[in-house]
């Protein structure tokens, strides 16, 4: 079986307009390309093509999500509102989520793409898969879009596997540098999805993703938040996976693992202040592959979220694809040695303390 890869040109046509990073331009702020532009995604796909790895992957065609797939998570009112705005001139889906005409259909194809890739992994059509979709999804909540996200792609795909494909337990590992608040909200009171978010402490959305957010009711203990201090590098991420993520997966015994894959914890990302690099993402991918092999027949899906450095994202993406597929290309990440040489890449004491604090009681709650 090959590794699956999914993308579509329409993902690149979702129009976020102009901004200064993601802030509204005006008379005192010169308009620039919005941070969540097609550029990083297009360059990741282009590097994959140039590297030759595409030839060894099974390309999965995205199918647009159905209305009932979307409304397992989102409210009818929100979906209708987005559709109306998209048919007109676009607008903002809620908070910091600008979109242009036609973005409703593109968002349906984005959520549908993650579903298509999830079904390909679930049915063993492919060994594992990466869905390079846009717009991203992990910040979107039931009745409003947030943080560039219109529909909760990963939550919607997990809900479909649970509702229609006989899955009993899905684990979501969110390594985007921002908190996976939308996915967390989707499964807050449910125990059929284990949600683990590793993110920069109190970055976005403000005030969410703290260690005491652990779910409620039937979902108590099935949400795990690991807020890491700014400046965390590969040492802190690998320790988080060794100490919390992998043991939690082992305790939970999922039927499949879905990763919210943002590369904005990269060392030169404009929206994050972490120090990850392509080698770090490669290692984390292998740790998740090992866990998936042990727990669920290798069933692992990655769905693209953030990542705003056009120079770094493509190399992180290629490293993950090489690891997932076992195919090595001739492409060498020109920034890897530089970033690996940054001071304090190794686990620092204050980072270890933050990981210990996040770990307190979480594994016991899953027993």
Beta bridge partners of 65: none
Determine contact, residues 131/11, Cβ cutoff 8 Å: no
With CB atoms as reference, the residue minimizing the distance to Zn ion is 306
Which pairing describes strands 300-304 and 193-200: parallel, antiparallel, or unpaired? unpaired
CB of 122 to Zn ion, least distance (A): 26
CB of 177 to Zn ion, least distance (A): 5
CB of 276 to Zn ion, least distance (A): 12
Q: How far is CA 167 from CA 79, 108, 159, 222, 273, in A?
A: 26, 23, 9, 17, 36
In which element (H, E) is residue 49 found?
Answer: helix 39-51
In which element (H, E) is residue 351 found?
Answer: helix 349-359
CB of 265 to Zn ion, least distance (A): 8
Greatest extent of the chain over all pairs of C-alpha atoms, in Å: 57
What sign does the CA torsion over 315, 319, 324, 329 have? positive
Among all chains, which residue has been given the structure tokens 């904005």? 264
Nearer to Zn ion, 86 or 181 (CB): 181
135 binds Zn ion (CB under 5 A): no
Among residue numbers 170 through 229, which ones bind Zn ion (CB under 5 A)?
Answer: 176, 178
266 binds Zn ion (CB under 5 A): no
CB of 92 to Zn ion, least distance (A): 18
Among all chains, which residue has been given the structure tokens 């899953």? 366
Close Cβ partners of 22 (under 8 Å, ≥ 6 residues apart): 34, 35, 36, 96, 148, 271
Close Cβ partners of 350 (under 8 Å, ≥ 6 residues apart): 229
Nearer to Zn ion, 86 or 232 (CB): 232
Nearer to Zn ion, 176 or 192 (CB): 176
307/102 Cα distance (integer angstroms): 23
306 binds Zn ion (CB under 5 A): yes
Among residue numbers 245 through 264, which ones bind Zn ion (CB under 5 A)?
Answer: 262, 264
Question: Would residue 139 show up in a list of annotated catalytic residues for this protein?
Answer: yes
CB of 141 to Zn ion, least distance (A): 15
Among all chains, which residue has been given the structure tokens 């120079």? 311
Nearer to Zn ion, 209 or 262 (CB): 262
Determine contact, residues 108/14, Cβ cutoff 8 Å: no
Nearer to Zn ion, 178 or 299 (CB): 178
Determine contact, residues 151/108, Cβ cutoff 8 Å: yes
Instruction: Report how many residues bind Zn ion under the rule CB under 5 A.
Output: 5
CB of 364 to Zn ion, least distance (A): 30
Nearer to Zn ion, 255 or 264 (CB): 264
* 358 three-state secondary structure: helix
119 binds Zn ion (CB under 5 A): no
**Selected catalytic residue, list 34, 139, 179, 199:** 139
Which pairing describes strands 145-146 and 94-95: parallel, antiparallel, or unpaired? parallel
Beta bridge partners of 79: none
Q: Which stretch binds Zn ion (CB under 5 A): 20-28, 235-243, 303-311, 317-325?
A: 303-311
Nearer to Zn ion, 213 or 264 (CB): 264
Catalytic annotation, residues: 139
Q: Which residues bind Zn ion (CB under 5 A)?
A: 176, 178, 262, 264, 306
């Amino acid at each position: 079986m090959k590794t699956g890869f999914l993308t579509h040109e329409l993902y690149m046509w979702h129009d976020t307009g102009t901004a200064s990073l993601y802030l509204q331009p005006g008379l005192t702020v010169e308009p620039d390309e919005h941070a969540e532009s097609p550029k990083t995604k297009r360059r990741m796909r282009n590097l994959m093509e140039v590297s030759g790895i595409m030839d060894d992957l099974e390309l999965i065609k995205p199918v647009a999500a159905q209305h009932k797939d979307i409304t397992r998570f989102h409210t009818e009112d929100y979906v209708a509102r987005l559709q109306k705005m998209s048919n007109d001139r676009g607008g903002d889906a809620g908070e910091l989520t600008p979109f242009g005409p036609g973005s409703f259909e593109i968002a349906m194809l984005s959520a549908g793409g993650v579903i298509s890739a999830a079904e390909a992994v679930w049915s063993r059509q492919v060994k594992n898969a990466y869905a390079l979709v846009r717009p991203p999804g992990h910040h979107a909540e039931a009745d409003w879009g947030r943080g560039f996200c219109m529909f909760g792609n990963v939550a919607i795909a997990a809900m479909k596997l649970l509702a229609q494909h006989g899955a009993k337990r899905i684990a979501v590992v969110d390594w985007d540098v921002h908190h996976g608040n939308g996915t967390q909200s989707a499964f807050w009171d449910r125990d059929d999805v284990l949600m683990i978010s590793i993110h920069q402490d109190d970055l976005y959305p403000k005030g969410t993703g703290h260690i005491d957010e652990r779910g409620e009711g039937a979902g108590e203990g099935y949400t795990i938040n690991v807020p890491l201090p700014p400046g965390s590098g590969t040492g802190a991420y690998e320790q988080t996976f060794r100490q919390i993520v992998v043991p939690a997966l082992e305790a939970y015994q999922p039927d499949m693992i879905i990763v919210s894959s943002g590369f904005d914890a990269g060392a030169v990302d404009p929206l994050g202040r972490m120090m990850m690099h392509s080698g770090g993402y490669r290692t984390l991918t292998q740790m998740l592959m090992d866990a998936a092999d042990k727990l669920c027949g290798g069933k692992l899906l990655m769905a693209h979220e953030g990542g705003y450095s056009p120079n770094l994202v493509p190399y992180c993406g290629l490293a993950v694809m090489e690891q997932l597929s076992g195919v090595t290309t001739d492409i060498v990440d020109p920034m890897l040695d530089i970033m690996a040489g940054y001071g304090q890449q190794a686990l620092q004491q204050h980072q270890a303390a933050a990981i210990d604090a996040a770990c307190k009681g979480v594994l016991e709650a899953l027993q």
